Amino acid sequence: MNEKIYISKTDYLNMSEEPDIMNHLPVYRIEKIKRLKNERARNESMAAGLLLVKALSSYTGKTETEMLEYLNGKEHDADKRCLKINAGEIYYSITHSGGYVAVAVAKCPVGVDVEVKDDKDFKVTRRMMAEEDKEYILHPMLSEEKRQIHFRDIWTIKESFLKCTGEGISVPLNSFSVKLHGALMVYGGRMVNSSGVLWKIVSLGYPLGNKNYYVGTTRLENEKYSLSICSSNSNLTLDIQTVEVLS
């Protein structure tokens, strides 16, 4: 099975009204939630934990109770976001922004990111992005709205790549860029565009070694959100399933 993305809209949920919700979350996620002070952040983190269990259950064919046991057991490496199941490895990545929560699951390291925020006055673009990225985002033929859409594309591409490699924000965003690799069909619900773009990560000083990374990008809700998934799989797919986390 290839990569799969599970996504849920959570801005209408109030997790504090669900008294037994913690019983359905992995221990490491509960500990993270307890450290959060902002109620919205707690709400999204709880939704992410629920979606993770449901996503892994759907992907592996195991029950949600079994997946909780795996996530709470020695088979789970939370730092690598990896589970050892039936002598194989399952990897996952979690993201949330603007009321959306998404979980990507795959048989190799994977990263996923969703974003709704604009880059005000394009300060982030001008200060942190590579010249190739700036050309894509700030092209003179683009309207302000389209530039913001392109910014969200590039931001989610970069974030999903850094999640896939596990290196995070310590890597300068201008040390790598992307080049167009092809078009993608997107399999998903009503909120998801029917087409996407496949990109290939290009080093601008970042040590890729002999490994290639690919990113699939699409947009949600009439292009208000960008969603990207990164993997070393050259046959990357955008297979998106909408999930109700409280079902």
Total domains in the fold of the chain: 1
Flag whether 247 is in a domain. Answer: no
Q: Per residue of the chain (247 residues), what is the pLDDT tens digit?
A: 689 999 998 876 676 666 788 889 999 999 998 898 888 888 888 899 999 999 999 999 999 999 999 999 999 999 999 999 988 999 999 999 988 999 999 999 999 999 999 999 999 999 999 999 999 999 999 999 999 999 999 999 999 999 999 988 789 999 999 999 988 878 865 556 667 999 999 999 999 989 999 999 999 998 999 999 999 998 898 999 999 988 7
pLDDT of residue 246: 84
Flag whether 43 is in a domain. Answer: yes
pLDDT of residue 6: 97
- Reduced 3-state DSSP string for the chain: CCCEEEEEECCCCCHHHCCCHHHHCCHHHHHHHHHCCCHHHHHHHHHHHHHHHHHHHHHHCCCHHHHHHHHCCCCEECCCCEEEECCEEEEEEEEEECCEEEEEEECCCEEEEEECCCCHHHHHHHHHCCHHHHHHHCCCCCCHHHHHHHHHHHHHHHHHHHHHHCCHHHCCHHHEEEEEEEEEEEECCCCECCEEEEEEEEECCCCCCCCCCEEEEEEECCCCEEEEEEECCCCCCEEEEECCCCC
pLDDT of residue 15: 67
Flag whether 52 is in a domain. Answer: yes
Flag whether 105 is in a domain. Answer: yes
Flag whether 28 is in a domain. Answer: yes
Flag whether 79 is in a domain. Answer: yes
The CA distance from 240 to 247, in Å, is 18
Flag whether 94 is in a domain. Answer: yes
Length of the chain: 247
Flag whether 141 is in a domain. Answer: yes
Q: Which domain holds residue 36?
A: 4-242
Domain of residue 136, CATH code: 3.90.470.20
